[in-house]
Amino acid sequence: MKICLFGGSFDPVHTGHLHIATKAQQQLELERVVFLPAARSPFKTSCSAMFSDAERLRILRAATADLPWAEVSDADLQLPAPSWSWRLVELWKTRHPHAELYWLLGTDQWEQLHRWARFDYLRENLSFIIYHRGDTSLPPRPGVRSTVLSGELHPASSAAIRQALREGSPLPEDWIPPGVQPLLQH
């Protein structure tokens, strides 16, 4: 079984996230893509979420409801902050000891992957799927199994969505997954 873990703040999830997950699922023939909203990224210690944990889960579940291969997990939200990817990998290895595990991330995270806690453990237990966001080359990571997905970047941004919601500004229709818009109103 091929399982891909997709961690992030998802504050809120947007069409770009779903586009990346769909592309990975199709290209690598993944049985599951597990969306894992983070309790608090160790790289974003000063940021606070606009949406509560319960709201982010509800929004993610609505956004992925029509994707049979998608799963939403609150596993990271149940662990003490900050969020460490290696803990989630350990958990999934315990739950699915014979699964082939992947981690989906963007170019920005790939560039700082060497800073992730227990990098050697992650390198030994995962294959990484990198969504390449641009024309620049990716830094090499010797000994790291990886697949690069390339394609047109969806313009949606969680930060821009949060700003528009604070200002009461309209959002581009294709930024918000179907069924999610009503859940974004606080």
Q: Which of 13, 39, 47 is nearest to 154 (CA)?
A: 13
Tell me if residue 43 falls in helix, strand or coil.
coil
Query: Could you give the domains of the chain?
Result: 2-184 (3.40.50.620)
Q: What is the pLDDT of residues 82-131, one digit of tens each?
A: 889 999 999 999 999 999 999 999 888 898 998 999 999 999 999 999 99
Q: What is the pLDDT of residues 1-16, one digit of tens each?
A: 999 999 999 999 999 9
Gyration radius from the chain CA atoms: 16
Q: What is the pLDDT of residues 135-175, one digit of tens each?
A: 677 888 889 999 998 777 788 999 999 999 999 999 888 99
Residue 71, φ and ψ in degrees, nearest 5: -135, 140
CA dihedral 61, 145, 84, 152 (to 10 degrees): -50
Length of the chain: 186
